[in-house]
A and B are shown apart, each in its own frame.
Chain A
Amino acid sequence: MTTALNCEQVAKKITRALPGAVVAADKAAVVVTSKSLYQVAEFLKNTPAFDFDYLTNLTAVDYMDYFEVIYHLISLKHNHSLVLKTRCRDRDKPVVPSVVSLWRSADFQEREIYDLMGIAFEGHPNLKRLLLWEGFVGHPLRRDYL
């Protein structure tokens, strides 16, 4: 059985290593600032106690006030999981750092979010639309589209 890690304890460990990174932590997820996202992801991947080697799912939700980008991480070695989130409030030009250099599974998924939700991933090697065609106007998965 995959154990979901206690997010509050994980948040404490992240804060010890990277002060100011964690915004909030509840039962479901750890929320970090978008500025420190890459460092937190690197920390979670390379710390032996966490060893999150498998980024299984990456998606985004439009809450109108802000966008939330959600990372579902699994460690195949320890068989535990964690939900990492980050938020960005800028509706016109939302930007989140890319994690493709850590987990290549983010490649298509970040492109999909860029395509359908309009969030740019800084540092992505090939950021362009995935499902819709070049020249399509708008981002259909935003709540204010249609």
Chain B
Amino acid sequence: MAIKTEPFILNIGPQHPSTHGVFRMRVTLDGEVVVDLEPVIGYLHRGIEKLGEARTYTQIIPLTDRLDYVASMTNNLAYVLAVEKLAGIEIPERGEYLRIIMAETMRISSHLMAVGFFLNDLGAMMTPVLYMWREREKLLDLYEMVCGQRLTYNYMRIGGVSHDVPEEFLPALKKWVAEMPRFIDEYDQLLSQNEILLARTKGVCILPRETAINIAASGPVLRASGVKWDLRKADPYSIYDRFDFEIPVGSVGDNYDRYWVRMQEMRQSVRILEQAIAQLPEGEVCAKVPQLLRPPVGEVYGHIEAPKGELGFYLVSDNSIAPYRFHIRPPTLINLTALKDMVIGWKVADLIITFGSIDVCLGEIDR
């Protein structure tokens, strides 16, 4: 007698260690195989876009810290660049360089967390994460030196950064940058050829190039699928055209490529940091900008290459002290569109690591 089977619905999250925040998936399973998936989001929705309409341009900066809280300063940067583009503000050279230093250390910090938790999802419980956090902890100490905070920094200002870095910062940063390549080598040796990692990620949950472009994936997810698109090169902002670096590109678009691209990007960020530290000029760090900035009537879309992808800000100004409309383009919300495509036909265990490989941050998905 044949056994009658039927698909069933499994609810993963919102409170679950593998969902990296409050994220819920309604997964339809046939045995252990995923046949359908629907992401359910909004548990962390704070209405940041609406809040922004009732705040001055400077008061919005701390709100942006609460988007992707793993790389807060990058969010600050994307927002202030958009405002500066709208109001036509020039930034002093030292301010530009300090911003780049912060943005690139943030990228490494975010990727360390992404790779660490990716391995956590893979079953390497906590050990790789602690190796990654050893280095990330030193970065957090550096940020604390600069602005007294370890998570939400609020360091960037319209026109530059809030204040110059303290004396002890640069020697400590130089030491960290000099040590980092050795640590990345260590991670590589421990992980990149690990048999279990290869078996679980090579050829698993492939995102084809065409789909990646059609869903407007960005950041490491897009590049892992073989698309050489990095806004730092494709549409250079700030002073990225002055630095020499490569864009790592994956070949297949599987989970391994997404892991590999992040590892390589950390090396490139170290290269940018070395150049930025060597070129760092003396002088002012912030331009003179009115406390209550009134940008001319108009609109602007500014986007940067955040660690997780293209972070954009769309601002509409009516020449008042607050933006008329304040919209955020969160990279991981749009990357999440790909999740369903990637996991159908794979098992639940692969779903968990694929979700980890997108590297989401619910702070910016829900806003």
Q: In angstroms, how far is the closest chain A Cβ from the Cβ of B13?
A: 15
**Are A131 and B42 closer than 8 Å at their CB atoms?**
yes
A39 to B240, CA, bound (A): 38
How far apart are A71's CB and chain B's nearest CB, in angstroms?
11
The reply to whether the CB of B316 lies closer than 8 angstroms to some CB of chain A is yes
- From known contacts A2-B234, A57-B314, A108-B337, infer whether A132 and B45 are also in contact, taking CB-CB under 8 Å: yes
The residue from A56, A83, A132 contacting B310, defined by CB atoms under 8 A apart: A56
User: Could you tell me if B213 and A54 are in contact, using CB atoms closer than 8 angstroms?
Assistant: yes
Task: Please name the residue on chain A nearest to B214 by beta carbon.
Answer: A104
Chain A residues whose CB sits within 8 angstroms of the CB of B229 once the complex forms:
76
Nearest residue, chain B, Cβ from A55: B216
Chain B residue at minimal CB-CB distance from A77 = B213
A53 and B214 within 8 A (CB): yes
Q: Which residues of B contact A9 (CB under 8 A)?
A: none
Is A116 interfacial (CB-CB < 8 Å)? yes
Q: Is the CB of A56 within 8 A of B303?
A: yes
Interface residues of B in 78-124 (CB under 8 A from A): none
Asked if residues A104 and B337 are in contact (CB atoms below 8 Å), the reply is yes
**Are the CB atoms of B235 and A1 closer together than 8 Å?**
yes
Residues 118-146 of chain A: 1 if any B CB is under 8 Å from the residue's CB, otherwise 0? 00000000000111110000001100000
Contacts of A59 in B (CB 8 A): 314, 325, 327, 329
Task: Bin the interface of chain A by size.
Answer: 20 to 34
- Flag if B42 contacts A132 (CB, 8 Å): yes
Bound-state Cα–Cα, A131 to B364, Å = 12
In the docked arrangement, what's the CA distance between A116 and B325, Å? 13
A116 to B53, CA, bound (A): 14
| A36: Cβ under 8 A from any B Cβ | no
Interface centre among B213, B234, B336 (most CB of A within 10 A): B213
Given A79-B234, A131-B367, A133-B42: A57 in contact with B337 (beta carbons within 8 A): no
**Hey, which chain A residues are within 8 Å of B213, CB to CB?**
53-54, 76
Say whether A140 contacts B47, CB under 8 Å: yes
Contact pick for B312, options A57, A61, A83, CB 8 Å:
A57
How distant is the Cα of A79 from the Cα of B229 in the complex, in angstroms? 10
Cβ-closest chain A residue relative to B338: A104
User: Mind listing 29 A-B residue pairs with CB under 8 Å?
Assistant: A1-B236, A28-B298, A28-B299, A53-B213, A54-B213, A56-B216, A56-B218, A56-B329, A57-B301, A57-B303, A59-B314, A59-B325, A59-B329, A61-B316, A61-B324, A62-B325, A72-B314, A76-B229, A79-B234, A79-B235, A104-B215, A105-B215, A105-B216, A105-B337, A107-B337, A108-B336, A116-B49, A131-B366, A141-B50
B interface residues (Cβ-Cβ under 8 A, vs A): 41-42, 45, 47, 49-50, 211, 213-216, 218, 227, 229, 234-236, 298-299, 301, 303, 310, 312, 314, 316, 324-325, 327, 329, 333-334, 336-337, 366-367
List 19 extra interface pairs beyond A62-B325, A79-B234, A131-B41, CB under 8 A: A28-B298, A28-B299, A53-B213, A56-B312, A56-B329, A57-B301, A57-B312, A57-B327, A59-B325, A61-B316, A61-B325, A76-B229, A79-B235, A103-B216, A104-B214, A108-B336, A130-B42, A133-B42, A141-B50
Give residues in A with beta carbon < 8 Å to B: 1-2, 28, 53-57, 59, 61-62, 70, 72, 76, 79, 83, 103-105, 107-109, 116, 129-133, 140-141
